[in-house]
A and B are shown apart, each in its own frame.
Chain A
Amino acid sequence: MKKIFLLSLIILASLVTIVVGCNKDIEGRTDSAGALNPANIDLNAGTWKPILLSTPDEFAVPAPSATNTPDYIAQVNEIKTWQANLTNDEKRIVHYWSAGAVLRWNEIMRELVAKHNLPPYQNPDGTYPVPSANNPLAYPQFPFANPPYASRAYAYLSAAQYDALVAVWHYKKLYNRAAPYKVDSSVNVLIPKSDLPSYPSEDAVVAGAAAEMMKLLFPGDQDFIQQKVEEHKRSRIIAGANVRSDIDAGEALGKAVAQKFVARARTDRAGAAVGNATIWQQMEDDCEARGETPWISLEVPKRPPMLPLFGRVRSWLFDSATMVTVVRPGPPPSTNSDQFRKETDEIFEYSKNITREQISIVHFWADGVATYTPPGHWNAIAADDFLKQGFSEVRWARNMALLNMSMMDAAIACWDAKYFYFNPRPSQVNPEIKTTTGTPNFPAYPSGHSTFSGAAATILGHIIPGNKSAYEAMATEASLSRMYGAIHYRSDCQEGLKCGKKIGDFAISRAISDGAE
Chain B
Amino acid sequence: MKKLIEKIMTTLLWFVMLCTVHNASAQTDIDAIMMEKNAFCVGPMYAYSSWKNYWEGTLKRENENLGTVSTQMIGLMGNYGISRKLNALFGIPYVKTKASAGTLDGMDGIQDLSLFLKWRPFQKKLGDGRLSLFGIAGVSFPIGDYTPDFLPMSIGLNSKTASARIMADYQIDNLFATGSATYVLRDNIELDRNSYYTTELLLTNEVKMPDAANFNFRAGFRNHRWIAEAVLNIWSTLGGFDITRNNMPFPSNDMDATTAGVNIKYVLPPLPQLSIVAGGMYTVAGRNVGQGTTVYGSFFYVFDFSKKTKSSDQPSKTN
A pairs with B? yes
Partner-B contacts on A (CB < 8 A): 3-4, 6-11, 13-15, 17-19, 21-31, 107, 110-111, 114-115, 118-121, 139-140, 298-301, 351, 354, 356, 359-361, 363-364, 366-367, 369-372, 377, 380, 427, 433-436, 438-439, 486
> A4-B86, A300-B64, A370-B197 given as contacts; is B187 within 8 A of A21 (CB)?
yes
Q: Pick from A23, A111, A359: contact of B211, CB below 8 A.
A: A23
> A4-B83, A8-B119, A14-B162 given as contacts; is B247 within 8 A of A369 (CB)?
yes
B194 interfacial by beta-carbon distance below 8 Å: yes
**B193 with A363: CB separation less than 8 A:** yes
Task: Give the CA-CA distance A367 to B193 in the complex, in Å.
Answer: 9
For B246, the chain A residues whose CB sits under 8 A away are 118-121
Interface residues of B in 113-127 (CB under 8 A from A): 117, 119
Q: Pick from B85, B194, B245: contact of A4, CB below 8 A.
A: B85
Q: Pick from B164, B191, B204: contact of A29, CB below 8 A.
A: B204
Q: Pick from B103, B119, B188, B193: contact of A23, CB below 8 A.
A: B188
Task: Give the CA-CA distance A442 to B246 in the complex, in Å.
Answer: 18
For A29, the chain B residues whose CB sits under 8 A away are 194, 203-204
Task: Give the CA-CA distance A7 to B147 in the complex, in Å.
Answer: 33
Q: From B98, which residue of chain A is reached at the shortest CB distance?
A: A434
Shortest CB distance A172–B (Å): 31
Shortest CB distance B69–A (Å): 14
Task: Give the CA-CA distance A354 to B147 in the complex, in Å.
Answer: 13
For A300, the chain B residues whose CB sits under 8 A away are 64-65, 101-102
Shortest CB distance B196–A (Å): 7
Q: Contact size class for B?
A: 35 or more
**A3 with B203: CB separation less than 8 A:** no
**A363 with B162: CB separation less than 8 A:** no
**B206 with A22: CB separation less than 8 A:** no
Task: Give the CA-CA distance A359 to B192 in the complex, in Å.
Answer: 9
B22 interfacial by beta-carbon distance below 8 Å: no
B8 interfacial by beta-carbon distance below 8 Å: yes
Binary per-residue interface labels of chain B (60-83) against chain A in the complex, 1 for a CB within 8 Å, 0 otherwise: 000011000000000000000011
Shortest CB distance A21–B (Å): 6
For B192, the chain A residues whose CB sits under 8 A away are 359-361, 363-364
Task: Give the CA-CA distance A146 to B69 in the complex, in Å.
Answer: 27
For A436, the chain B residues whose CB sits under 8 A away are 104-105, 150
Shortest CB distance A144–B (Å): 10
For A21, the chain B residues whose CB sits under 8 A away are 160, 187
B284 interfacial by beta-carbon distance below 8 Å: no
**5 A-B pairs, CB-CB below 8 angstroms?**
A18-B162, A298-B102, A363-B147, A367-B193, A435-B105
**B147 with A380: CB separation less than 8 A:** no
Binary per-residue interface labels of chain B (141-175) against chain A in the complex, 1 for a CB within 8 Å, 0 otherwise: 00001110110000000001110100000000000
B312 interfacial by beta-carbon distance below 8 Å: no
For B106, the chain A residues whose CB sits under 8 A away are 434
Contacts A13-B8, A438-B104 known; 16 new A-B pairs at CB < 8 A: A3-B86, A22-B188, A23-B209, A23-B211, A26-B208, A29-B204, A114-B201, A119-B246, A300-B64, A359-B192, A363-B150, A364-B192, A364-B193, A433-B103, A435-B104, A438-B103
**A434 with B104: CB separation less than 8 A:** yes
**A6 with B147: CB separation less than 8 A:** no
> A18-B185, A359-B192, A436-B105 given as contacts; is B162 within 8 A of A4 (CB)?
no
Q: From A111, which residue of chain B is reached at the shortest CB distance?
A: B201
B224 interfacial by beta-carbon distance below 8 Å: no
Task: Give the CA-CA distance A43 to B315 in the complex, in Å.
Answer: 88
Partner-A contacts on B (CB < 8 A): 4, 7-8, 11-12, 15, 64-65, 82-83, 85-86, 101-106, 117, 119, 137, 139, 145-147, 149-150, 160-162, 164, 185-188, 191-197, 200-204, 206-209, 211, 244-248
Task: Give the CA-CA distance A300 to B100 in the complex, in Å.
Answer: 13
Q: Pick from B137, B146, B187: contact of A22, CB below 8 A.
A: B187
Shortest CB distance B260–A (Å): 30
Q: From A109, which residue of chain B is reached at the shortest CB distance?
A: B201
Q: Pick from A3, A15, A356: contact of B83, CB below 8 A.
A: A3
Q: Pick from A15, A114, A433: contact of B137, CB below 8 A.
A: A15
Shortest CB distance B70–A (Å): 14
Task: Give the CA-CA distance A360 to B139 in the complex, in Å.
Answer: 27
Task: Give the CA-CA distance A180 to B188 in the complex, in Å.
Answer: 45
**A6 with B162: CB separation less than 8 A:** no
For A356, the chain B residues whose CB sits under 8 A away are 145-146
The 6 A-B pairs with the shortest beta carbon distances in the complex, nearest first, are A434-B105, A18-B162, A111-B201, A114-B197, A300-B64, A28-B203
For B64, the chain A residues whose CB sits under 8 A away are 300-301
Shortest CB distance B17–A (Å): 11
Task: Give the CA-CA distance A23 to B208 in the complex, in Å.
Answer: 6
**A7 with B82: CB separation less than 8 A:** yes
For A367, the chain B residues whose CB sits under 8 A away are 193
Task: Give the CA-CA distance A227 to B119 in the complex, in Å.
Answer: 55
**A369 with B103: CB separation less than 8 A:** no
**B201 with A13: CB separation less than 8 A:** no
Shortest CB distance B139–A (Å): 6
**A15 with B105: CB separation less than 8 A:** no
For B11, the chain A residues whose CB sits under 8 A away are 7, 10, 14
Q: From A117, which residue of chain B is reached at the shortest CB distance?
A: B197
**A4 with B203: CB separation less than 8 A:** no
Task: Give the CA-CA distance A369 to B104 in the complex, in Å.
Answer: 14
**A18 with B8: CB separation less than 8 A:** no
**A363 with B104: CB separation less than 8 A:** no
